[in-house]
Amino acid sequence: MKRTYRLTPKLVTLIVGAGLLSMAIALVLMFSVQKKALTESLGHQFEVMASITSARLTNLLDQTFSEATLLGLDPIIRETVEEANRRYAGRSPAEIEAEINRLHARWDAKAPPDEFSNRYKDSPAATFLRRYLEQPNVSQKYLTILVADRYGVLVASPYKPDTIDFSHQEWWRAAYKDGAGDYYVSDVSLDVPSREMDKTYMIQFAVPIIDPKGQQAIGALVVISTVNHLFAAVTGLRMGQNDHVMLANSSGALIFCPVFLVKNHTLKTELVRAISHPKPGWTQTTADVHYQGLTINGYAPVTTSAILNPTSFGGQRWYIFTSQDPKETYAPMTRLLTWVAVAGTGGLGLLGVTAFFIARRFTRPIRELQEGAKLIGFGNLDYRLTIPTGDEIEELSYEFNEMATKLKTAYTNLEQRVAQRTRELEDRNRQLSILYAISSSLSCRPCWPPPPSNWAR
């Protein structure tokens, strides 16, 4: 059985396949280019968001340092510290240490509060600090304020702290710095700022109290603040539905996070290395705090205008960084590719219909050529092909016509030669018949009379 081949379906399949391959290549190129452009655009946006948040946090830190410095420069605070330092005049280091130990022991023994009321509660400096903390814009931020002399002994405080000796605490050592003075900010910690308060997350801002000549530190002042306003400043800025701005230190502790809140999580080492840079920037990591996959993270270091003591922030550096769900990050591109794919599918359908009609038009002259070849093959040498396509198929039809003409000429010549040969054979056959008849007639008649019987004798 002769196998039948159909050219039209093959052409349609070829055209649609080429279109499908082109669309796939275009989608891949579009995805690559758009993803790179979108990643760079969002990366810079996240970098800006981290920089803005870092600047907001820096402004709050600088504002607290400015307020603490102004408190330390107030004449009431300075005179109270100078008066406390004069009590050590003429005493040997051993006598001073003994006096501090005695006060410390009596403080821990919960002595009657009136013995120390002039030192911290009812002094002009303590009253000044209490009134300062009662201001509405201050009471929401600060928990308490402590003032210590050059030996770290409490001078004034609006509330009674747990101890009277701060010489072993980091804030006093950094702020006083053996009379050189320095600025200090602690790490965020969960602690009790005074006996009259509950445990809470807090941060300490310590500044030196400088003598009137501005030559050396005579004591130190620390503002113990809540972290609520700092937390709001860090986590309040958002760009989408599932993005977060967070604060972490260089050891990987997550200090502020809208999900994990305050110091309840630790970053992966990969993410810490990615965001720990001296200048703002952005990066891509697979070690995000909240989301899996490749995420874009903007980052910026936290700095202050004041030169801080090296022990500030717990001896670490602070960094603002951002995080966003990759699904939301690339949602615009996903929607674009979906619409392109839908449009491409419709285009492929239209291309298939168009390809069918094009293939039909392309194969029509080929079918005519095929039918003409069949007729010529069946012996109709007078049939002529007329295919005005103006291309190779028209040339091929002309060649078929030439071939039919030559075949007809050859066939006609052959018939003439056969007819002539037939006539020649017929003439020869007639001649042979005549000769045969003559020969036959001659062979039947005797030419001589029979010899006599005695001829032999």
Cα torsion at 365, 369, 371, 374 (round to 10°)?
-170
Query: What pLDDT score was predicted for residue 457?
Result: 45
Q: Does one domain contain both 276 and 256?
A: yes
Q: Which two tokens stand for residue 266?
A: 């630790």
Q: Does one domain contain both 156 and 78?
A: yes
Q: Using DSSP, state whether 159 is helix, strand or coil.
A: coil
Q: Of 168-172, 265-269, 397-401, 452-456, where does mean pLDDT reach its minimum?
A: 452-456
Q: Does one domain contain both 294 and 410?
A: no
Q: Does one domain contain both 65 and 164?
A: yes
Query: Residue 454: which pLDDT band, with cuts at 50, 70 and 90?
Result: low
- pLDDT above 90: percentage of residues in the chain: 37
Q: Does one domain contain both 50 and 92?
A: no
13 occurs within a structural domain = no
- 423 contact partners, CB below 8 Å, separation of at least 6: none
Residue 264 vs residues 103, 170, 257, 302: alpha-carbon distances, Å: 38, 24, 9, 20
Closest C-alpha to 69, from 181, 157, 230, 174: 181
The C-alpha angle 10, 11, 15, rounded to 5 degrees, equals 120
83 occurs within a structural domain = yes
116 occurs within a structural domain = yes
Q: Does one domain contain both 67 and 114?
A: yes
Q: Which two tokens stand for residue 28?
A: 């891949």
Query: What pLDDT score was predicted for residue 112?
Result: 55
In the DSSP assignment, the letter for residue 165 is: B
5 occurs within a structural domain = no
Q: To which H or E segment does residue 356 belong? A: helix 331-377
Per residue in 184-203, pLDDT tens? 999 999 987 776 778 899 99
Query: What pLDDT score was predicted for residue 260?
Result: 87
Q: Does one domain contain both 226 and 353?
A: no
Q: Does one domain contain both 266 and 394?
A: no
Q: Does one domain contain both 281 and 378?
A: no
Q: To which H or E segment does residue 402 belong? A: helix 392-444
The terminus-to-terminus CA distance of the chain in angstroms comes to 89
400 occurs within a structural domain = yes
Q: Does one domain contain both 285 and 412?
A: no
Residue 259 CB: number of other CB atoms within 10 A? 13
* Boundary-marking domain end, from 298, 316, 331: 331
Q: Using DSSP, state whether 79 is helix, strand or coil.
A: helix
* Boundary-marking domain end, from 331, 347, 382: 331
Q: Which two tokens stand for residue 284?
A: 């891509």
Q: Which two tokens stand for residue 345?
A: 């599918």
Per residue in 373-407, pLDDT tens? 777 777 776 777 777 767 777 777 777 777 878 77
Residue of 222 and 443 predicted with greater confidence:
222
In the DSSP assignment, the letter for residue 312 is: G
In the DSSP assignment, the letter for residue 170 is: H
1 occurs within a structural domain = no
401 occurs within a structural domain = yes
Q: Does one domain contain both 280 and 378?
A: no
- 143 contact partners, CB below 8 Å, separation of at least 6: 193, 194, 197, 200, 202, 224, 225, 226
Q: Does one domain contain both 391 and 349?
A: yes
> What length does the chain have?
457
Closest C-alpha to 221, from 299, 290, 328, 142: 142
* Boundary-marking domain end, from 231, 251, 278: 231
Q: Using DSSP, state whether 380 is helix, strand or coil.
A: coil
Mean per-residue pLDDT over the chain, rounded: 82
Which amino acid, 367?
R
CATH number at residue 188: 3.30.450.20
Per residue in 92-127, pLDDT tens? 989 888 888 888 777 776 555 555 545 667 788 888
Report how many domains make up the chain: 3
Closest C-alpha to 309, from 180, 191, 148, 146: 180
Q: Which two tokens stand for residue 158?
A: 């609006």
221 occurs within a structural domain = yes
C-alpha 51/C-alpha 274 separation (Å) is: 16
Q: Which two tokens stand for residue 248?
A: 């972490």
Query: What pLDDT score was predicted for residue 456?
Result: 46
C-alpha 62/C-alpha 302 separation (Å) is: 11
Query: What pLDDT score was predicted for residue 1?
Result: 45
Average pLDDT over residues 403-419: 79
C-alpha 276/C-alpha 264 separation (Å) is: 20
Per residue in 76-89, pLDDT tens? 999 999 999 998 88
Q: Please give the residue range of the domain that contains residue 377.
A: 332-436
Per residue in 281-320, pLDDT tens? 999 999 888 888 888 899 999 998 888 999 999 999 999 9
Per residue in 200-225, pLDDT tens? 999 999 999 999 888 899 999 999 99
